[in-house]
Amino acid sequence: MKQKSLFNRIVIPYLVLIMLSLVITSVIASYAFRTFYINQLVDDLEAQANLILLLLPDTLSENSASFFQLDGNPQSVRVSVVLPGGKVIFDSEENPVKMDNHADRPEIIEALLGKRGHSTRYSHTLRHSMLYVAIPAVKNNKMAGVVRVSMTITAIDNNLKKLNIRVAFIGAIVLILAFLTSLVIAQKISSPLKLMQKGAEKFAEGKLGARVPESDTKELTALARALNKMAAELDDRMKTIERHRVENETILAAMVEGIIAIDPGEHIIMLNRSAGKLLNIDEKAAIGKTMQEALRNAQLLQFARQVLDSKETSIEDEITIYQEEEIILLANGAHLDWETETKPGAVIVLNDVTRVRQLEQTRRDFVINASHELKTPITAIKGFVETLLDGTAHKPEDIERILGIVARQADYLSAIASDLLSLARLESDDKTAWLAFEDKNVCDILEEVVGIYHPVAEKAGQKISLDCSGDIHATLNSILMEQAIMNLVENVIKHCPEGTQISIKGRIDSETVYISVQDNGQGISSENIPRIFERFYRIDKSRSRSLGGTGLGLAIVKHIALVHNGQINVESSRAKGSTFTISFPRKTDDS
């Protein structure tokens, strides 16, 4: 639809209305003036006709023409005398002989009926517009004829024309004044409206602090105040919405759980930072894309479609995704209602339960391994004790051998209990009650370990060496650190063949201390490396148990490194040996 300006809507209709009013008024006035003048002339002409009627003889005929040659006839009017048959016997302007029969003239017809007749028409004889008035000439109660008096009305038309010109001139002046007045009125209305428009445009641009100026017009002032009030309320609401948005985004960004919101068409409308991290995608680039385009995970896509199509309010499932390593996600989906959609969207909450599942698996493995580790010595002890109780063993040497086995198995159980207790203490939340840190020279600790295990290594046909010099001071628990190094060295001595070279090194790099135990033994396969620090995990179960190991040594080493805010790494390959390295900060947070 074509838009019209306020000027066109106010000024032009206003001018058209005034113009129509002037035209209609002029036409009506002109008609009224003409009718008034005509009526006045009709009365005057009728009076003159009556005077002429008094002068007529009692009998009218064609021979009466000489009677009408009278002085004193009005010179401004035309006088005609017509017989009842329409024959003109006298005319003051024309020879009656040359004139047509007037029986068909409207005024003659009216007069012959005994009425006053009058009409206005163009006279072809005089070539003027004429006013005709005819009265019946009744003599001796008998219709003798008709007296018709006429005069030109050209003067009237000329006067009316002059009057119309004056009226048109006055109308033009009035029209100009009306135009200027309407222009001022339109300007007075449009100027505040333009200011309001500019103010509304600022509101639309988000500049809700701007205000629309008030006008001196009551209605426009009310409108300006309403706009300003609306802007103030919108400003408050927008600030509230923005505050809530920031709060929601902050909450969603801080959530550990991944949040994905999708519309009914599977387009992503919201994805928080945790979800992007879990799924390894850019959360901003994913907004607006479909699940299939952004995620490319068939299992998650199938779950999203299940949530969209399901009639249930909530759905839960586990989803496995593969990146650098396997990640297990617990997905919870619920409907996201839309006011304008018949089909709801969906919101999906993703929890990374990989660590939980790993811990559950570790717990199950621990229970299985611990049961297996404990079952063997308990079974052996029970069996040999039953042998003694049955009295089957009679010889002293048999009894001594059985008691020796029971004692070794009991020592093994004691070692397992001791190691488990050590692990429990290392994993406890409150270590400050028993764990003390002090400044120690790392090289002194390593020299003490070498001193303890040098004879053991020589007995096993192995050689142990130390590479640690300088002032490597660190804040640590010397007893625990010594135990960790001893466990590493003891593992090498137990599991490596004769001729193995064992190298213990200590060094410091910046503020980090490194202690490594290296050997050139048979090494560890790559599939076993990720699990060697688990409790009771053994690469060769039968051989490890026969050597007296509890399967908890490396787990204890790992936790000792952790309590020092450090870590342990292993590098190993088959037939080339292994290197275990403990690294921890020179000054720990607990010092």
pTM: 0.44
Q: In this prediction, what percent of the chain has a pLDDT beyond 70?
A: 83
More confident residue, 205 or 521: 521
Percent over 90 (pLDDT), the chain: 1
Q: What is the mean pLDDT of residues 542-549?
A: 49
Q: How confident is the model at residue 70 (pLDDT cuts 50, 70, 90)?
A: very low
The two three-digit tokens of residue 122, written as one number: 């163009």
Of the pLDDT bands very low, low, confident and very high (cuts 50, 70, 90), residue 342 is low
User: What is the pLDDT averaged over residues 457-468?
Assistant: 88
Please give the DSSP secondary-structure letter assigned to residue 235: H
More confident residue, 325 or 65: 325
**Average of pLDDT values for 361-382?**
70
Predicted local distance difference test score (pLDDT) of residue 545? 47
- Those residues whose C-beta lies under 8 Å from the C-beta of residue 272, and which sit 6 or more positions away, are 252, 253, 255, 258, 259, 283
pLDDT at 429 over 70: no
Average pLDDT, the chain: 79
Per residue in 79-114, pLDDT (tens digit) is 888 888 888 888 887 888 888 888 888 888 888 888
Q: Residue 218's pLDDT is what?
A: 76
Give Cβ neighbours of residue 256 (< 8 Å, ≥ 6 apart): 274, 351, 352
- Residue 360: Cβ-neighbour burial (10 angstroms; 0-12, 13-18, 19+): exposed
pLDDT single digits (tens) 390-427: 776 667 777 777 777 777 767 666 766 666 666 666 66
Query: Residue 169: left if φ>0, alpha if ψ -120 to 50, beta else—which one?
Result: alpha
Cβ contacts of residue 34 below 8 Å, gap of 6+? Answer: 156, 160
Instruction: Read off the pLDDT of residues 205-229 as tens digits, 9 standing for 90 and up.
Output: 777 777 777 777 777 788 778 878 8
Q: 108-112, 123-127, 377-381 — which one is most confidently predicted on average?
A: 108-112
Report pLDDT for 528.
78
Distance CA 571, CA 62 (A): 159
Q: Which residue has the higher pLDDT, 575 or 144?
A: 144
| Full DSSP string of 164-197 | HHHHHHHHHHHHHHHHHHHHHHHHHHHHHHHHHH
Q: Which residue has the tokens 């109660």?
A: 141
Given this model, what pLDDT does residue 158 score?
Answer: 79
- pLDDT attached to residue 589: 58
- What are the pLDDT digits (tens) for 300-321? 888 888 888 887 778 888 888 8
Over residues 459-473, mean pLDDT: 85
Tell me: pLDDT of 543 over 50.
Answer: no
| 390: its two tokens | 């049955």
> What are 18-37's pLDDT values in tens digits?
888 888 888 888 888 878 88
* Average pLDDT value for residue range 177-200: 77
Tell me, what's the pLDDT at 229? 82
- Predicted local confidence at residue 412, as pLDDT: 65
